[in-house]
Structure 1
Amino acid sequence: MNKNRQQSIKTYYNDLAPEYDHDRFANSYGKYIDYQEKKVMHKLMLHRDKETTLDVACGTGRFLRYARYGLDISPNMLEVAQRKYRNRLLFEGNASQMPFEDKKFETIFSFHLVMHLDKETTRQFLEETSRIAKPGATLIFDFPSKYRRQAINYKAENWHASNALSTIEIQAMTTQWLVKSSYGILFFPIHRFPPSTRRYLRRIDTWICRSFLKKYASYIVVILKKKV
């Protein structure tokens, strides 16, 4: 990822940090996505050891309950996260060059990161997570669905959420990780529904996002296993 793009992302989230939680997740649209993502994370992380878990792009700490370690490019986001979780070990850095030793983590997860990267930096992220992951470790992350965007003919205007992919493309980017399963997030175009109806649609949306139609959801959460 070029330095200008990296600096744009850092500045964007530094400026947003004080109001991030409220702006993104206090409204009915944000609560809808938050509900689905938390259901997936609860299922995947319930019995994992947070002492050997890293949250990459931890932001203000929405999922730090599951991880002992956190990494983010934005010092302002980290400051908010540290106030929430004073006993977490948080580091400033980027996803393609992380300040951790080899084979340290059993689980690594990342939400709302890969969507902002380019394809080459996504490959670097997969290589770097492989370096710091133990053999047999699990990697979990999300990205915008390429199939959904093709179906609705959507193209991002800038770096924000521009990196649409498929699970097939993810697997083609790495020889160290194996794609094991996936979930969809946000099948319905919920922004087109009245806010008062959105909570009633969550259950059926969640069901569709676990069906054969999941690749047409807005976002895909993919679960990978590192080769032993």
Structure 2
Amino acid sequence: MDEVVDYYDQLAPTYDDTRFGHTWGQFLDRQEREVLAQWLPDEPGVDRLDLACGTGRTLDLATAGVDASAAMVGRARHRHPDTPIECARADALPYAPESFDAVFSLHFFMHLDPSYIRRVLAECHRVLRPGGLLAFDAPSDLRRRFNDYQPEGWHCATALHPLEVRRLASPLFELVDFRGVMFAPVHRLPETARRVWRPADSAVAQSRLGRWACSHFMFLLQRREP
């Protein structure tokens, strides 16, 4: 985990531009937000934690944020001065039990090995209230097998299948939904064509058949009670 934190400490000054300052990142951001908007409770008084919040890209959807990279947290605090943001590891969250109604995390679980994922899931279960929701993403194991993609090192090394997520989450969580993200490389089309095809790509990605062929999955878990 230390090497992950060191990597993002160094990347923090350029993260927003290099990851989300271009058409691919912007397209991905919009699709992820569409799914989270359907999943996350947004009633008044609902507490939502952005886990591994980075520089704060999605902190507008949360009431609190946490990240293990001090450099990322510094930029997030500057970007969202009114949102409480802590610097802590995901397996040792600085919150009391049952503090949140929902936890969401993007572009984080893909860097973790299964044993660490289990530790993070246990900690999320601790800070969630009964019936609380956990949403996160990961590259599609199916798509990677089709493309014969071989990651190098820890970066984006973990791809998941819904059945694997169900196994990792048991018995703490139940997998209640999953969606596809980025079915086709629409971000590579000219701007005028993207405007036409982006809604179609989102529709296909979230359909029952299309989601299995997307490059990423988004998973929704619900806290199980003892």
- TM-score of the pair, normalised by structure 2: 0.91
Q: Tell me the equivalent position of 1:20.
A: 15
> 2 CA distance for matches of 1:156 and 1:7?
19
Correspondent of 1:135 among 130, 136, 139: 130
Aligned length: 222
- The runs of at least 4 aligned residues of structure 1 exceeding 6 Å deviation read none
Equivalent residue in structure 1 for 2:184, among 169, 184, 188: 188
CA deviations on 1:91-135 (whole Å, 9 max, x unpaired) are 111112212111111111100110110111111111111111111
RMSD (Å) for aligned C-alpha atoms? 1.7
Shift of 1:70: 0.8
Distance (Å, rounded) in 2 between the aligned partners of 1:165 and 1:21: 25
SS in 2 for 1:102: coil
Measure, in 2, the Cα distance between the counterparts of 1:142 and 1:85. Answer: 23
Structure 2 counterpart of 1:226: 223
CA distance in 2, matches of 1:159, 1:186: 22
CA separation in 2, counterparts of 1:83 and 1:209? 34
- By how many angstroms is 1:44 displaced? 2.4
Conserved in 1, the CA contact under 8 Å of 2:41 and 2:102?
Answer: no
Q: Would the aligned equivalents of 2:186 and 2:201 in 1 still touch at CA under 8 Å?
A: no
Q: Percent identity?
A: 32
Unmatched segments (≥5 aa) in structure 2: none
CA distance in 2, matches of 1:94, 1:190: 35
61, 76, 79: which one pairs with 1:81?
A: 76
Q: Is the 8 A contact 1:50 1:68 kept in 2?
A: no
SS at match of 2:42: coil
Per the alignment, residue 211 of structure 2 pairs with: 214
Q: 1:19 to 1:199 in 2, by over 3 A?
A: farther
1:24-48 deviation digits (Å, cap 9, x = unpaired): 1111111111111121122223624
